[in-house]
Amino acid sequence: MAVALGAGGARGYAHIGALQVLAERGYEVVAFAGTSMGALVGGVAAAGKLEPYTEWSLSLTQREVIRLLDPTLTGGGAIRAERVIGRVGEILDGARIEDLPIPYTAVATDLSARREVWFQRGPVITAVRASTSIPGVITPVVVDGRLLVDGGLMNPVPIEPTAAVTSDWTLAVSLSGPRRAGEAVASGVASANEPGPQQSSPVRLGAGSRALEEIGGRLRAGAAEVLESETVRALSNRWAAWGSKADEDAEAAVEEATEEAVSRELADEGYAPAPRTLGTMDVFNRSFDVTAALITRYRMASNPPDVLVTVPSDACRTMDFHRAAEMIELGRRLTEQAMDAAGRGGLSPG
């Protein structure tokens, strides 16, 4: 059988669980293809190094993960990730793709040529480093004169590279599945699986123009009304709190009151500010997941796998590399469910 492993940061530990289930059920993998974290797990598996890589991953604590992430202010990303790549390189021990016992392809994206690049020769660690260069997060690399970033931009779950290898069936693992129903995304934000009334129709420009006209009318109604508004009173209190001795607690309390007041006033205009718990990386990750899910859906329409394992995009955050045990177990459970549903039980011995 052939295996295609998708992109998704730390959720990619689920790939390890999927491969464990395949081995336990007696299936032999004859080809690996992977993007981003899928390229990493596929690479160590093809090199016969999955066990030591898994042991190292399970040993990582959040503090150790932070130490491994070497930040940078240059190079087109926030993290160089060379410490992580160096450790993975030690595990791979100089393995080259053309010498692997199992055919392996890592997919990256050429930013200049706007096309995907398949690594099928050369050092495995070079292919992994190129394929895992998350735009804006992990710095891109230059290989053979090409500026390369994460392959998930163009091919989140690379099934096509496995087509050249004869196999009975193909299993694909996507890490960009729908968010889990019934779980709050963040305070004040509805889950994608639980659409609320505000999602029933898109906002039209006409409605926005009318809202602006109403705001202008309120401002012209008189300064007295504006000065008496909850928002202005809260802001005034905020400035006073900043000038006081016990300003830390006061500032936090006033800031919360200010945001509540602003939210109440903005509610009249049809929208509200994003929740404070929503971070920049959260927005980036969700945006990337939306794009990856769409591309995956279109590409699989023409080349569907025989078994598809779908990991929810909110199973963990992209950089939660200290959660290996949890993601491996999730990968095992979802793979068992998908294989059972497809009638792919264990092989009989002999």
How far is the C-alpha of 15 from the C-alpha of 123, rounded, in Å? 21
How far is the C-alpha of 254 from the C-alpha of 237, rounded, in Å? 7
C-alpha to C-alpha distances, 313 to 133, 142, 191, 194, nearest whole angstrom: 19, 29, 12, 15
Other Cβ atoms less than 10 A from the Cβ of 210: the count is: 13
Backbone angles phi, psi at 177, to 5 degrees: -70, 170
How far is the C-alpha of 279 from the C-alpha of 130, rounded, in Å? 26
Identify the active-site residue in 110, 150, 282, 314. Answer: 150
* Structural contact between residues 263 and 239, judged by C-beta atoms closer than 8 angstroms: no
* Structural contact between residues 14 and 176, judged by C-beta atoms closer than 8 angstroms: no
How far is the C-alpha of 348 from the C-alpha of 7, rounded, in Å? 33
59 assigned to active site = no
How far is the C-alpha of 51 from the C-alpha of 67, rounded, in Å? 23
314 assigned to active site = no
DSSP assignments along 43-75, one per residue: HHHHTT-HHHHHHHHHH--HHHHHHH--B-SSS
* Structural contact between residues 117 and 108, judged by C-beta atoms closer than 8 angstroms: yes
* Helix segments in the chain, DSSP class H: 13-24, 37-46, 50-59, 62-68, 82-92, 124-131, 205-220, 223-227, 230-242, 247-267, 280-302, 324-341
How far is the C-alpha of 75 from the C-alpha of 128, rounded, in Å? 18
Place of tokens 């989140």: 156
Residues pairing with 105 in the sheet:
33
3-class secondary-structure state, position 120: coil
**Tokens (6 digits) for 232:** 């202005």
**Tokens (6 digits) for 120:** 């099928």
3-class secondary-structure state, position 3: strand
Active site residues: 36, 150
